[in-house]
Amino acid sequence: MTFRHLTLSVSLCLCLCLAACGNREKSSASQSEATTTAAPAKDAPLTAITPHETLPTIIDFNAVWCGPCQRFAPIFEEVAKEYHGKAIFMSVDVDKSSELARMFEVSSIPQLTVLMPDGTVKSAVGFMEKSQFIDFITPYLPK
């Protein structure tokens, strides 16, 4: 299963869980109020992301034409595998999900955003080596 399929599967599962719990979609321009997940079809744009109940969601905002984004992609996938179960990892193409990029105020890419279960958001912009990326996310991971 590719990383892209994994992120789409996670999105779909979150959406189904929300529907089962009776939650309704909300749309907001505020980063801290990003509370719903769309169930995208293959290659469809994401319009919202829901904070997980207990785990942080780590989002890589990128684009196919962005050189630093493409260099960071394998690092992101590697860390996602290593930290499986400690965080939810999602990769978002800003060209396909421009509404979501606006909601998280993405103005430069790559942008790495951590969405905490309580809705707070922490972001960093620019390419990171693996050790820098791990240092960035470690404070937000469950102990």
Catalytic residues: 66, 69
Cα separation, 9 vs 74, in Å, equals 19
3-state secondary structure of 71: helix
Question: How big, in percent rounded to 5, are the helix, strand and coil portions of the chain?
Answer: 40, 15, 45
Two tokens at 71? 């260099």
Residue 135: CB atoms within 10 Å: 11
